[in-house]
Structures are given as C-alpha cells and as structure tokens.
C-alpha cells in the first residue's frame, strides 16, 4: 500500500483479498490502522462474527465479502444469503 509519499505497508501473504492478508510496515512491525471499506482488518459493524472471503469472477477483479452475511453468486457477484 502506498500514498503520495511512498510505500506505507506491504504483505507477503498469498491471498487475492487484501482484507485477509497480513500487513507489515517497512520497519517490519505490524501495520495497524489500515482500513478496508472503512473498517480495520477484522473489525466491522455489529452483527455476526465476520468471515472474510473473496468472490472471484471469471473476468474482472475480486470482491471481498463477509460470508457470514453474503454469498458469492455463480456470476461472480456478491449478494445477501438467498438473493443470487
């Protein structure tokens, strides 16, 4: 991850979803304070225990989703349970 000033954090985790990766600072410490969709990794709004997953369509970018509340549909879209 970078901003206008350079690299801020990196991950060596082999995952297509940035929300499920382990992030480190250039100094080698844990990269705290990174937000994904407005929430810190592993922290989200009140509700079921999050189950972060990735929906990867045949063509196009992955979509991170919470499998506790959503499903990855056959067409690669993400919907709430029972709504594909």
Taken in order 8, 10, 71, 63, is the CA torsion positive or negative?
positive
For 36, the token pair is 């994904």
Helix (H) or strand (E) holding 60: none
The model scores a pTM over 0.85: no
The pair phi, psi for residue 59, each rounded to 5°, is -130, 125
Cα 36 to Cα 18: distance, rounded to the nearest angstrom: 8
Q: What tens digit of pLDDT does each residue of 5-46 get?
A: 877 788 888 776 777 778 888 888 888 777 776 666 655 555
Query: Closest by alpha carbon to 78, among 58, 60, 54?
Result: 54
User: Residue 78: which pLDDT band, with cuts at 50, 70 and 90?
Assistant: very high
């Amino acid at each position: 991850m970078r901003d206008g000033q350079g690299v801020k954090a990196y991950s060596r985790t082999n995952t297509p979803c940035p929300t499920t990766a382990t992030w480190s600072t250039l100094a080698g410490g844990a990269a705290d304070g990174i937000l994904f969709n407005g929430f810190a990794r592993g922290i989200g709004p009140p509700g079921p225990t999050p189950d972060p997953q990735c929906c990867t369509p045949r063509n196009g970018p992955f979509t991170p989703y919470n499998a506790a509340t959503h499903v990855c549909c056959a067409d690669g879209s993400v919907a709430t349970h029972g709504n594909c």
